Chains A and B, each alone.
Chain A
Amino acid sequence: MGCNLKDLATSEDCELSDFSGKKVGIDAFLTAFQFLTTMRDRSTNGDGMPLRDNSGRYVAHLMGFLQRTCSLLKEGIIPVYIFDGKPPELKSHELEIRRSRRMESEEAYKHALEIGDYKEVHKLAARIMHYSPEMVQETKDMLDLLGVPWIDAKAEGEGQAAVMAKLGQLDVVATQDWDALLYGTPILVRNIMSHGTKKYGRVIKSQKINLEEMLANLAISQEQLVDLAIMIGTDFHPGVKGIGPKTGLKLIREYGTVEAVCEAKGKELPERLDEIREIFHNHPANQVDSSAIKLADVNREGLVKFLQEDRQFSQRRMDSAFADLKAAGRLRESGQSTLFSF
């Protein structure tokens, strides 16, 4: 999933409230995978797959997006979900690897299920999750009912978001994918919902990375950051053998470009280098009308039908969502509204 720039980035802890009134671009696919891999049937003999409604239809993604969206709205944030488009042709090798791994996991999952090894079933289920086109459409339908904007990316979701952030259409981009920085997003937020939550024994806090400050700290240009990432390895190329973040940084500072580094160190130049650079520097993106990036009215009746009547969402879940929407001033009931509800 993108290039790991963790060791190179300078980040600062931040709070959700820091983004009140801001348009936050959210990578919808990565977010959906978080929901699908966490909201699963993990009962003793459960199949480990995402939670379903009475008719067997998956609903974990809708539960996740509903709760996440309402929490963001309550904080006065304008979430703008960006859905992946067609991946660049250069990514096909990486996608083929992922597909093949998935197929292996699917076989192992079936086997584990047959022999009743539920511990293994639960582990493997997370690896075979698929955010299907139907689920994507359902998510978009629910966002429409919530009055929350969403955008179809031309190619990579985080790339589209970065292009929009550079144009000032988004204030920040929230994704776990470091590539957003390579695409040039001025501000990246990781773990946006985490406030000292513990995960695998580590305390996770949301972090803000300012691209300009990061480049200044590394003493390199945006072009050099992209070249550095290409050497470390991206979704579009495995990278230059023997070069990790620290060595790569040293070399790019010394030699300036991938070509110069490879020549000086006798390394093989990555294939289709200019095409990879182009994907990062000029990522294909759909043009979006800025006036469309705003909140619309919540369709309360529509949500009740879509989630509660059609998919058996519990009263408690619905009450909690409506309480957040009310606190956000998104439900036009009598009372004081907020400036961010318009």
Chain B
Amino acid sequence: MLNITTRQELLSRIVDTLGIVVEDARFDFDENGLSVRVVDPSHVAMVKLDVDSAVFDSWEVEETKIGLELKKLKETLGLGSAGDLLTMEYKPGVGDFHMNMRKAKRDVRPLDSSTINPPNLPDLTMPCSVTIGGAQFAEALRAAQLVGDLVTLSIDQDRFIVNVKGNADSVTVPFDKEELQDLKCESPALSQYSLTYLVPLSKIFGSLESVTVSFGENFPLSMDFEFPNDEGTVKYFLAPRVESD
């Protein structure tokens, strides 16, 4: 059984975050909150998202797993705007997933949740990390996108650098340690990532006070951040473009 009321902007943020990686997701609800883990079909990007039940306007939940198409959630959320309330109801095994947004009642057939397997998180020890303002990092990625599709992140004990080299052009956005909220670096590292995955995510973290970016030499990147007002925790993983030995 599930009966939840949420503000439109909270669920929108959840759906937008997951939508960067997948089209369908399994939502795991229990009395403590919502938890979702998704990986894209190429296994390049992964999101783990946790939202505490307390941040919803109402929460009556017995442990339930529901597979849903994100497009349908987004469409329904699009019928309202920030501040509107959306209610969701579902009885496992009985039938449709019901959503009410303003005057509209939408019934959605859930996907077979047993066929959607949340991935295990990769077991990685990140050798370097920076904590940076969301807007600062988003701006650096936007600048990088002017020149190419692949961004190189590099780090040493003193600096974190965002760099893109195109055929003729290049963009470099350096951040000295003093400009960052935190910088940890075991040994200097450089790794390259696809902007196709990073730039859409910057729309989610671009307004946040801080985001922690961790990576290593030719190593996956992880980003950790919280939704505004601590309304949800996001862990994002991205596999690197690897240079040949």
Stretch at the interface among A93-101, A108-116, A327-335: A327-335
Q: What is the total number of residues of chain B having a CB less than 8 Å from a CB of chain A?
A: 27
Q: Are B242 and A332 in contact (CB under 8 A)?
A: yes
Decide if B229 is an interface residue (CB 8 Å cutoff): no
Report the stretch among A14-22, A79-87, A261-269 that lies at the interface: A14-22
- Closest CB-CB distance, B210 to chain A, in whole Å? 24
Could you say which of B44, B124, B218, B244 contacts A336, with CB atoms under 8 Å apart?
B44
Within 260-305 of A, Cβ neighbours of B (below 8 Å) are at 294
Prevailing SS type, chain B contact patch: loop
Q: Is the CB of A342 within 8 A of B44?
A: no
B239 touches A329 (CB 8 A): yes
Residues on B with C-beta less than 8 A from A342 are: 122, 124, 219-220, 239
User: Are B239 and A337 in touch, CB under 8 angstroms?
Assistant: yes
- Contact residues of A between 118 and 171, Cβ < 8 Å to B: 171
Among A18, A19, A21, residue most surrounded by chain B Cβ atoms (within 10 Å):
A21
Chain B residues within CB distance 8 Å of chain A: 39, 42-46, 114-115, 117, 119-120, 122-124, 194, 218-220, 237-245
Contacts of B45 in A (CB 8 A): 339
Does residue A12 face the partner (Cβ distance < 8 Å to B)? yes
Contacts A332-B242, A332-B245, A333-B242 hold; do A339 and B39 have CB atoms under 8 A apart? Answer: yes
Q: Which of A1-55 contact B (CB under 8 A)?
A: 12, 18-23
Provide the residues of chain A in CB contact with B220, threshold 8 Å.
Answer: 339, 342
* B5 → chain A closest CB, angstroms: 32
* Given A339-B237, A342-B220, A334 and B120 contact (CB-CB distance below 8 Å): no
Task: Give the shortest distance, in Å, between A74 (CB) and chain B (any CB).
Answer: 11
Complexed CA–CA distance, A171 and B118 (Å): 12
Q: Is A338 an interface residue (CB 8 A)?
A: yes
| Cβ contact within 8 Å between B43 and A76 | yes
Q: Please, which residue of chain B has its CB at the minimum distance from the CB of A22? A: B120
Contact call B243/A338, Cβ cutoff below 8 A? no
Contacts of A294 in B (CB 8 A): 123
Query: Taking the nearest CB of chain B, how far is it from the CB of A228, in angstroms?
Result: 27
Q: How large is the interface on A (under 10, 10 to 19, 20 to 34, 35 or more residues)?
A: 20 to 34
Instruction: For the A-B complex with A333-B242, A334-B243 known, give 8 more contacts whose Cβ atoms are closer than 8 Å.
Output: A12-B114, A18-B115, A22-B120, A332-B218, A332-B245, A336-B242, A339-B122, A339-B238
Chain B CB within 8 A of A71 CB: no
* Residues A21 and B42 in contact, CB atoms below 8 Å apart: no
Q: How far is the CA of A90 from the CA of B81 in the complex (A)?
A: 70
- Chain B residues with Cβ below 8 Å from A313 are none
Contact with B along A176-192 (1 / 0, CB 8 A): 00000000000000000
> Nearest B residue to A340 by beta-carbon distance?
B43
A338: chain B residues within 8 A (beta carbon) = 42-44, 239
> How far is B118's CA from A19's CA once the two chains are assembled, in angstroms?
10
Most chain A beta-carbon neighbours within 10 Å: one of B44, B114, B194, B239? B239
- Who on chain B is nearest to A334 by CB? B244
Question: B240 CB to closest chain A CB, in angstroms?
Answer: 6
- Distance from A323 Cβ to chain B, minimum over Cβ atoms (Å): 16
Are B242 and A337 in contact, CB atoms less than 8 angstroms apart?
yes
Q: Which A residues lie within 8 Å of B244 (CB)? A: 332-334
Sampled A-B contacts (22; CB under 8 Å): A12-B114, A20-B39, A20-B117, A21-B122, A76-B43, A329-B242, A334-B241, A334-B244, A335-B242, A336-B44, A336-B194, A336-B242, A337-B239, A338-B42, A338-B44, A339-B39, A339-B43, A339-B44, A339-B122, A340-B43, A342-B122, A342-B124
Which residues of B lie under 8 Å from residue A206 when comparing CB positions?
Answer: none
* A341 is an interface residue with CB less than 8 A from chain B: yes
Query: B117 near A18 (CB under 8 angstroms)?
Result: yes
Q: How far is B219's CA from A48's CA once the two chains are assembled, in angstroms?
A: 48
**Are B241 and A340 interface neighbours, CB within 8 A?**
no
Q: A20-B43, A21-B39 are in contact. Are A337 and B114 (CB under 8 A)?
A: no
Closest to B117 in A: A18
Contacts of B243 in A (CB 8 A): 334
Q: How far is the CA of A341 from the CA of B241 in the complex (A)?
A: 12
CB contacts (< 8 Å) of B117 on chain A: these are: 18-20
A339-B46 in contact (CB<8A):
yes
* Residue pair B239, A21 in contact (C-beta under 8 Å): no
Q: How far is the CA of A183 from the CA of B44 in the complex (A)?
A: 36
Cα distance A76–B122 in the bound complex, in angstroms = 11
A339 to B43, CA, bound (A): 6
**Other-chain residue from A12, A22, A337 in contact with B241 (beta carbon distance below 8 A):** A337
Min CB gap A289→B, angstroms: 13
